[in-house]
A = this chain, B = another copy of it.
Amino acid sequence: MIKVATAECFTHGHIAREIHGFSQGYDGEFGPNYNLLNGIPYDLSVVCGIFAPTLSALQKVLKVDPPEPLKLIRGIKVYDEENDKKVAVIMAKAVKDLLGANIGIGTTAGIGRGGIAVSTDEYTVVASSGFYADITTHDSSRLLKRQECGIKKALSIFVDVINDDWDKLMEYDDVYVLDK
A residues whose Cβ falls under 8 Å from a Cβ of B:
1, 3, 12-13, 16-17, 20, 23-31, 43, 45-54, 56-57, 60-61, 73-76, 98-100, 138, 140-141, 143-144, 147
Contact = CB atoms under 8 A, between A and B. Distances in A.
Nearest to A44: B74
A144 B147 CA distance: 23
A174 B11 CA distance: 34
A11 to B, nearest CB: 10
A99 B48 contact: no
Given A26-B140, A28-B140, A51 B54 contact: no
A56 B12 contact: no
Contact of A45 (B1, B3, B75): B75
A29 B143 CA distance: 10
A51 B52 contact: no
A45 B54 contact: yes
